[in-house]
Chains A and B, each alone.
Chain A
């Protein structure tokens, strides 16, 4: 069965622009999480959604937002991009309602470069 699909794989944006990243979880998975990975800060939690509800949000500015649709697909949006937003953005899905109690399946990520 298909894994977690993230699109696009690579993205180059200019400071001040906004960007939308997409994540399609494994079929049947209703929990979707987003993480940001940078060389300096490592893997940082952004948000978690379950059945279209955001259950937790990480310590990121309001420029970072997300949502989940009824088919469990999720998007995250970053507005007014800054150079420091350059990162690998990873989406992860889980079948379990208590996803962190069982582990996640990650997508290959979207590499965002802000210039």
Chain B
């Protein structure tokens, strides 16, 4: 079964609004990463947050991590049409295993 569960599965908002996606996981992690995928193409690495960090920012992206609740959220502020994509969280469970476990993703649609 998947390590990460993402919520919601799909999200549709108006351009300019903020979008929040959540990721929950089952086991302890070393880090959690967020990736974006446009229309079945490759994934683009957005941001990585380590287990000892609680919040990180990158441009319009804000990621939080709550290890006690085994959850993370990705906030995209002031959304743009170009943000339309699928967003995946991925976790590194075992240090050195060189394997990421991905969630099922959230499909985000930004309406102009």
| Nearest residue, chain A, Cβ from B92 | A100
| Nearest residue, chain B, Cβ from A105 | B45
Write the B33-53 contact mask toward A (1 if CB under 8 angstroms, else 0). 101000011111100100000
- Contact (Cβ within 8 A) B97 A106: no
Residues of A within 8 A of B87 (CB): none
Chain A contributes a number of interface residues (CB within 8 A of B) equal to 28
- Contact (Cβ within 8 A) B98 A56: yes
Chain B contributes a number of interface residues (CB within 8 A of A) equal to 26
Write the A79-107 contact mask toward B (1 if CB under 8 angstroms, else 0). 00000000010101000001111111111
Write the A50-74 contact mask toward B (1 if CB under 8 angstroms, else 0). 1000011010000000000000000
Query: How close is A25's CB to chain B, nearest CB, in angstroms?
Result: 13
Query: How close is A21's CB to chain B, nearest CB, in angstroms?
Result: 14
Query: How close is A47's CB to chain B, nearest CB, in angstroms?
Result: 9
Give Cα A65 to B33, complex, Å.
27
- Contact (Cβ within 8 A) B104 A109: no
A45 touching B101 in the complex, CB below 8 Å, given contacts A101-B30, A101-B31: yes
- Contact (Cβ within 8 A) A98 B96: yes
Write the A29-52 contact mask toward B (1 if CB under 8 angstroms, else 0). 001010100000011010010100
**Interface residues, chain B, with chain A CB atoms under 8 Å away:** 2, 30-31, 33, 35, 40-45, 48, 88, 90, 92, 95-105
